[in-house]
Amino acid sequence: MAITAAQVKELRERTGIGMMECKKALTETDGDMEKAIEELRKKGLAKAAKKADREALEGGIYMEVEWSKAYVVSVACETDFLANSDKFKNMLKDLVKYLKENGADKEAAQEFINSNYALELGENLKLVEFKIVEAPVLASYVHSNGKLAALLGAKEGTDAEKLKQVAMHVTAANPEFLSPSDIPEDVVEKEKSLQLEMMKNDPKMGNKPEQVLVKIIEGKMGKFKSEISLLEQDFVIDPSQKVKNIIGEDSIVTFERISI
């Protein structure tokens, strides 16, 4: 009996098992859905899949940088105990190898996890980050707890060691944008509206005319933009300098902060 894609999809949705295992189970049972589920249970796979409804709030991040490419992987799991285990950490390394060999197909990578690790590790494993980032110069930093990391890409000639220091800064300071010019107008307007409501509810400011409050808020927007812009932030290693003074105002082309 020919097994259809719809059957495979249904079995996958009902069990959480990878497509290849679902197709194999359906083939072995001539397309009988209930028998296929029984077969998966016999193999222990469906038992692991039942964990798919449990919350995955722990996990780990792993990155490898090779010349102009960075391979980024993060997986969420249920317990800190598993996240700190060698088996989990080795899985992350295997996933980077899979990423290098197969490209950034996140759905296929999740199936790879389900088929090769779900049963052995016994927890709900959810692929969060799975991608390749390219830039002339790259620097990564993963915090010691494995749950917080940053990746920066910069122009040719950028000091790689300083770039790594800025990556450490990103994990601590959590900037939202690279520079003030990158901040969308709706973000600024939302902050203005919030500040206005706060002032109206402040006994010391609430009795002032709204136009006066608006002018005060306008004056605060420069500080607000600096606080959420990487290049304008005070450098955590040396707060007397801004990040742009450490790395250069035009060096960084991309950055991201990753957390579990």
Domains of the chain: 5-53 (1.10.8.10), 54-134 (3.30.479.20), 180-250 (no CATH)
Q: What is the pLDDT of residue 115?
A: 86
Token pair 């915090």 is found at 143
The pLDDT mean for the chain works out to 91
Provide the b/e sequence for 35-53 (b: ≥16 CB within 10 Å). Answer: ebbebbeeeebbebbebee
Determine phi and psi for 229, rounding to 5 degrees. Answer: -110, 125
Give me the sheet containing 126-134, strands edge to edge.
58-66, 69-77, 126-134
Average pLDDT of the residues in 251-260: 96
Please determine, for residue 237, whether its predicted confidence score (pLDDT) is greater than 70: yes
Please determine, for residue 82, whether its predicted confidence score (pLDDT) is greater than 70: yes
Q: Which two tokens stand for residue 18?
A: 């990878």
Question: Quick one: pLDDT band at residue 222, thresholds 50, 70, 90?
Answer: very high
- pTM of the full structure: 0.78
Q: Could you give the percent of the chain with pLDDT greater than 70?
A: 95
Please determine, for residue 230, whether its predicted confidence score (pLDDT) is greater than 70: yes
Nearest to 253 by CA among 154, 118, 106: 154
Q: Which of 131-140, 152-161, 209-218, 236-245 has the lowest average pLDDT?
A: 209-218
Cα–Cα distance between 59 and 149 in angstroms, integer?
12
Segment 23-76, tens digit of pLDDT: 888 999 999 988 888 788 777 666 555 555 566 789 999 999 999 999 999 999
Please determine, for residue 256, whether its predicted confidence score (pLDDT) is greater than 90: yes
Token pair 């259809």 is found at 4
Q: What is the pLDDT of residue 1?
A: 74
Q: Could you give the percent of the chain with pLDDT greater than 90?
A: 72
Instruction: Provide the 3-class DSSP secondary structure of residue 117.
Output: coil
